[in-house]
Amino acid sequence: MIANLVNLIAIMTDDARACIVQCCKNNDAMAIRELLDDDCHDIRDSFCLQRCGECYDTAFVVVDGDKIEYDREDPPATLPEFLITEGAR
């Protein structure tokens, strides 16, 4: 768990790296699809990411295998900056 947390922090703070960002079509993640920087990252739309409980309750994307939740009321302010297209925040 600790190692995973460290990895997640690394992902959220390293704005130079290109990531695989998985969006669940059944989740509000699809609503922020246009915010995501698809020039830098590989954005993948999945029909289901097998996170049904979290999906039911929360908006999220999966970045290089790690789930990142955000506030569906204010995605630009709560998504990690490195994921977002420049100027969208």
Partner 1 sequence: MNVLFISIDSLSRHFLNCYQPNAEIDVETPNIDAFANRAAVFDSHYAGSLPCMPARREWLTGTQEFLWRAWGPIEPFDSTLPEMARRNGVLSQLITDHYHYFQHGSNGYVDDFNGFEFIRGQEYDRWMTHPRSPDANFLGRITEDAPEDSDDINLDSATASDEFDDVRYMNRAVYARNATDLEEESDFFAPQVFSKTAEWLSNNTEWPEWFCYVDSFDVHEPFHVPEPYASMYTDEDPKDPDLPIWPYYGRVNEGQSQLTQRELDFVKSQFAGGVTMVDKWFGTVVDRLKTENLWDETVVILTSDHGFFLGDHGNVGKPFEAPVFDVLAQTPLIVWHPESPQMGERISELTAAVDLYATIVELFDSGFSESRHSKSLLPLLMEDRTDHRDWAVYGYWGSSMNITDGEFTYHHPCDESMPTECYSTTMMDSIGWFTPQKPKFDAEASTDLPYTDCPVWKFEGPSHSRHDEPLLFDTEADPFQDENLAQRADGERNRMETLLADALKSLRAPQNQIERLGLG
Tell whether residue 49 is a contact of partner 1 (CB under 8 A): yes
Shortest CA distance to 75 belongs to which of 64, 60, 63? Answer: 60
CA 86/CA 89 separation, integer angstroms: 7
34 scored as a contact of partner 1 (CB under 8 A): no
Q: How many other CB atoms are there within 10 angstroms of residue 39's CB atom?
A: 8
In whole angstroms, the minimum distance from the beta carbon of 87 to partner 1 comes to 27
80 Cβ contact list (under 8 Å, min separation 6): 11, 12, 63, 68
Among 12, 33, 54, 78, binds partner 1 (CB under 8 A): 54
Among 15, 38, 57, 71, binds partner 1 (CB under 8 A): 57
Assess contact for 18 and 42: CB atoms under 8 A. yes
Q: Does 4 bind partner 1 (CB under 8 A)?
A: yes
Q: Determine which residue in the list 10, 18, 52, 77 makes contact with partner 1, applying CB under 8 A.
A: 52
Q: Structure tokens of 78?
A: 């709560």
Residues that bind partner 1 (CB under 8 A): 1-4, 20, 22, 25-26, 42, 44, 46-58, 62, 64-67
